[in-house]
Structure formats: C-alpha cells, structure tokens
Amino acid sequence: MAIDYPAPFLQLTRELRRLPGIGPRSAERIALWILSNKDARPTQLAAAVTAAATAIHPCKQCGFFATEDLCEICLQPSRSGRELCVVEQATDILPLEKTGSFRGLYHALGGRLAPLDHIGPDQLRIEPLLQRLHIGKPTEIILALSADVEGEATTNYLVEILAPSGIPLTRIAHGLPAGGGLEHSDQITLQRALSGRRPVAER
C-alpha cells in the first residue's frame, strides 16, 4: 500500500493548486512551509483570507475594490464631473492611479469581448457605463484597454456606442507593448500612455 501525506494535507494542496500559477510541486512546497515553518502563522493567514473575502467587494460605481458601497476613489468629491477612464479589469485601475497623471474617475468593464469564450456585451459592465454618462456627465471618456485583438475589438465596440453621447472620446497612446495588459506595465510607460492619448477619430 502506497504511503502519502495525510488527507488534510492533500486537501490543502488541492486548494493551493486552484491559485493562478501554482502547480502540483509548488502547492506541495507551499503547504509544507505553511505547516512546518514557525513563521508561517497558518491561523492568522486563514483569518486574513476569510476577513478579506468577507469585507471586500466591487465598488458599485466603478468596480474597484471597496469595503463600503463606493471605493475611496469614487468618494473623492474633487473627481466628480471630470474625465472617465474605462479599463478592462478592476486590477487595471491601481497601476494608472499610481502614475499620478490622472485625477478623474474609472470604470472597470469586468473583462473584454471574447466571442470564443462566450463573453459578449451583456457579460460586461457596459450598461452601467452608459448610465454613468447621463448621471456624471464626464468631460472626456478615455479608453484604456489592452492592445491585443480582443482589447481592440472591445475598444471599437465602445467607440460605436459611446460616440453618439457627444462626449470627447480618446484612447491611451500605445506606449504599451502589443498584447500586454496594464497590470504588467511600469509607471513611466503608463504615464506616457496617458499623457499621449489621442482622439479616436484620428486612428
């Protein structure tokens, strides 16, 4: 009969393998460290994960991470009525915010158009975006989506439905690498991309 780790250990490795970038060997090493290292503090780790999962939810307005109805960005009065930057995911907001080049508001779509994955306009936060245009009346709409095929398709779709609003429509300059996402870009690249944005009509 083959000997293996106890069942609770195997359950822990199975859960760790569900994390992005964690394979079987990595999951086993992490589990061993958690259970055998005196500095691991597994109880505190479990409590922190549970507390974060309970307390954090998407901002009702922009989709960023929040502990109340609105996130800290949307709660700033000075940003109201300014530019609205549209991104794919909530994780794209913080890299742009850290550049210090943008002081408007954000809107995370929750993804991008991907017909092969059955993701169409109805699966994205496009309707809430249209509602925000009527309520907030931003001075400009900035499209800050990835420069790959699906990002371009989403940008083109947004241009079609947002152009009739009459609000100036721009997109960030492609200082970003083709096929790259915002979360992997450095602050200087993002800063240049924001400051070099141009009207969509000039594409």
100-151 pLDDT, tens digit per residue, is 889 999 999 999 999 888 999 999 999 999 999 988 889 999 999 987 889 8
Same domain, 109 and 173: yes
User: pTM for this structure?
Assistant: 0.79
Select from 16, 38, 55 the last residue of a domain: 55
Distances (CA, A) of 195 to 29, 81, 169, 171, 182: 44, 19, 14, 10, 15
Strands (E), 24-95: 57-58, 65-66, 84-87
Segments forming the whole domain that contains residue 79: 58-202
Same domain, 103 and 36: no
Does 127 reside within a domain?
Answer: yes
CATH code, 50:
1.10.8.420
Same domain, 19 and 80: no
CATH code, 138:
3.40.1360.10
Q: Which tokens hold the place of 48?
A: 């922190």
Whether residue 93 contacts residue 142, with contact meaning beta carbons closer than 8 Å, is answered with: no
Does 1 reside within a domain?
Answer: no
Distance CA 114, CA 156 (A): 13
Whether residue 132 contacts residue 107, with contact meaning beta carbons closer than 8 Å, is answered with: yes
Does 2 reside within a domain?
Answer: no
Q: Facing residues of 65 across strands?
A: 58
What's the pLDDT tens digit per position in 18-39? 999 999 999 999 999 999 998 9
Does 164 reside within a domain?
Answer: yes
What lies within 8 Å, CB to CB, of 191 at 6+ separation is 99, 100, 101
Same domain, 48 and 94: no
